[in-house]
């Protein structure tokens, strides 16, 4: 179902899945081009959660997706306020984020956070620098980004969360699972088997937080 939420800068759309009662998992896609590569995957996770009786929401954030705010005008605080606005539409909420989406839930009134391979803002800025279009001011892989947003990202770090990583990743995590990062693939893709595995972990985590 398509619904909407309000934030200080206006109104944005969101996809809603699952029951109308109980806790709601609000999802944040990675920023910029990685969002396109993981959107179908995130929707598959949220549908799997709905099958497990847990509601989920995927909001368009300011300057992302189908938002009316131009990407070049968006700031990190806009993105965070947008995510917080989506969470405020519901009662008890939990944050679900992939990669740089983990930088967006810090202002949200959530009970707890679940992050898949969270990234630091400085890491994202370095990756964007490698994709900067030659001779094009502030154009990164087809996205025109403001200098203010890039400066904000430099110091951005995720909040405390349950961290999930893939096997073979040497960094600390609460759990490591088999799988292949979809954001490394050249084209948008999906992995229904991995989505089910992650939905199982998220559902168990939400229920543990609820007890």
The domain that contains 87 carries what CATH number? 3.40.50.1820
- Cα–Cα distance measured from residue 60 to residue 29, given in angstroms and rounded to the nearest whole number: 9
Asked whether residue 210 is assigned to any structural domain, the reply reads no
How many helices (H) and strands (E) would you count in the chain?
A: 5, 10
Asked whether residue 83 is assigned to any structural domain, the reply reads yes
Joined tokens for residue 140: 């990164």
How many folded domains does the chain comprise?
Answer: 1
- Cα–Cα distance measured from residue 178 to residue 147, given in angstroms and rounded to the nearest whole number: 37
- Cα–Cα distance measured from residue 124 to residue 134, given in angstroms and rounded to the nearest whole number: 19
- Model pLDDT, residue 133: 67
Please, what is the angle between helix 192-210 and helix 33-51, to 10°? Answer: 60
Asked whether residue 61 is assigned to any structural domain, the reply reads yes
Question: Could you list the pLDDT tens digit for every one of the 211 residues in the chain?
Answer: 899 999 999 999 999 999 999 999 999 999 988 998 999 999 999 999 999 999 999 999 999 988 989 989 999 999 999 999 999 999 999 999 999 999 999 999 999 999 999 999 999 999 888 877 676 677 877 778 888 999 999 999 999 999 999 998 999 999 999 988 888 777 778 999 999 999 999 999 999 999 8
- Cα–Cα distance measured from residue 84 to residue 7, given in angstroms and rounded to the nearest whole number: 8
Joined tokens for residue 141: 């892989």
Contact 56, 25 (CB under 8 A): yes
Asked whether residue 191 is assigned to any structural domain, the reply reads yes
Asked whether residue 139 is assigned to any structural domain, the reply reads yes
Asked whether residue 54 is assigned to any structural domain, the reply reads yes
- Which residues are registered as beta bridge partners of 98? 116
- Cα–Cα distance measured from residue 26 to residue 58, given in angstroms and rounded to the nearest whole number: 6
Asked whether residue 211 is assigned to any structural domain, the reply reads no
Asked whether residue 114 is assigned to any structural domain, the reply reads yes
The residue range of the domain holding 187 is 2-203
């Amino acid at each position: 179902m398509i619904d909407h939420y309000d934030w200080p800068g206006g109104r944005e759309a969101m996809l809603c899945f699952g029951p109308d009662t109980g806790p709601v998992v609000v999802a944040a896609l990675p920023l910029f081009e990685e969002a396109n590569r993981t959107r179908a995957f995130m929707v598959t996770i949220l549908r799997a959660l709905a099958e497990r009786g847990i509601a989920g929401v995927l909001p368009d954030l300011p300057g992302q997706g189908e938002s009316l705010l131009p990407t070049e005008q968006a700031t990190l605080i806009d993105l965070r306020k947008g995510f917080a606005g989506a969470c405020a539409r519901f009662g008890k909420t939990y944050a679900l984020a992939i990669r740089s989406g983990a930088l967006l839930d810090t202002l949200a009134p959530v009970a707890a956070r679940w992050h898949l391979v969270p990234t630091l803002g400085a890491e994202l800025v370095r990756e964007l620098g490698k994709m900067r279009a030659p001779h094009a001011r502030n154009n990164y892989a087809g996205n025109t980004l403001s200098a203010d947003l890039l400066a904000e990202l430099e110091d951005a770090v995720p909040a405390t969360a349950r961290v999930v990583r893939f096997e073979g990743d040497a960094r600390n995590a609460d759990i490591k699972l088999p799988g292949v990062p979809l954001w490394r693939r050249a084209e948008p893709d999906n992995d229904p088997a991995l989505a089910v595995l992650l939905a199982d972990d998220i559902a168990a985590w939400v229920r543990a937080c609820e007890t």
